[in-house]
């Protein structure tokens, strides 16, 4: 029985580089990029709020009545929810800022940047879990 000549070994399929992760670069779409995007957006948001917040606080120099009126708008439900967003923004920005500093200064910082991003998210969630019931209770639960 004549056997067919052995077929040349077919080359093992070579995966496209990093195709298993479905990424075209090491950076785009990864934790590294999103931490940068979030840091930038929260930074600008906090800065703009800070300008408004110094102005509303300056109303204490006008009169107690005017200050109380202006600050009263912070106690409405819509503002209460926006405040919660601002608090989440500072918490993320602050912890991610520490992450950036550790990446810059620790020899092993860059190696752990991805883990540290998830630690930042975790800490933000934990602090917000402590803050939200208290704050939303104050905003929606009456008082005034």
Partner 1 sequence: MTKLDATDLPAPRARRTTALRGGANTELIAWLFMRISGVILLVLVFGHLFVNLMVGDGVHAIDFAFVGGKWSEPFWQVWDLLMLWLAMIHGTNGVRTIINDYAERTGTRLVLKSLLYLAFVVTVVMGTLVIFTFDPCPPGSPADLLPSFCAA
Give min distance, CB of 31 to partner 1, in A: 20
Q: Residue 61: name its binding partner from ligand HEM, partner 1, none (Cβ under 5 to 8 Å by kind).
A: partner 1
Does residue 59 belong to the site contacting ligand HEM (CB under 6 A)?
no
Contact 96, 38 (CB under 8 A): yes
Contact 128, 91 (CB under 8 A): yes
The rounded distance, in Å, linking the Cα atoms of 73 and 78 is 9
Name, in order, each residue with C-beta under 8 angstroms of 135's C-beta and a sequence gap of 6 or more.
Answer: 80, 83, 84, 87
Query: Contact positions toward partner 1, by CB under 8 A?
Result: 40, 43-44, 46-47, 50-51, 54-55, 57-58, 60-61, 63-65, 67-68, 71, 74-75, 80, 83, 87, 90, 94, 97-98, 100-101, 104, 131, 134-135, 138-139, 143-144
């Amino acid at each position: 029985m004549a056997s067919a000549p052995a077929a040349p070994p077919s080359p093992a399929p070579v995966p496209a580089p990093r195709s298993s992760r479905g990424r075209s670069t090491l950076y785009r779409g990864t934790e590294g990029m999103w931490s940068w995007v979030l840091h930038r957006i929260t930074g600008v948001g906090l800065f703009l709020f800070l300008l408004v917040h110094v102005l509303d606080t300056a109303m204490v120099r006008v009169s107690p009545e005017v200050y109380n009126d202006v600050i009263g708008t912070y106690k409405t439900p819509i503002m209460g929810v926006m405040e919660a967003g601002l608090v989440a923004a500072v918490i993320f920005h602050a912890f991610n800022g520490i992450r950036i500093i550790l990446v810059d200064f620790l020899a092993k910082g860059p190696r752990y940047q991805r883990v540290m991003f998830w630690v930042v998210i975790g800490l933000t969630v934990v602090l917000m879990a402590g803050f939200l019931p208290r704050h939303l209770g104050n905003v929606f639960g009456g008082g005034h």
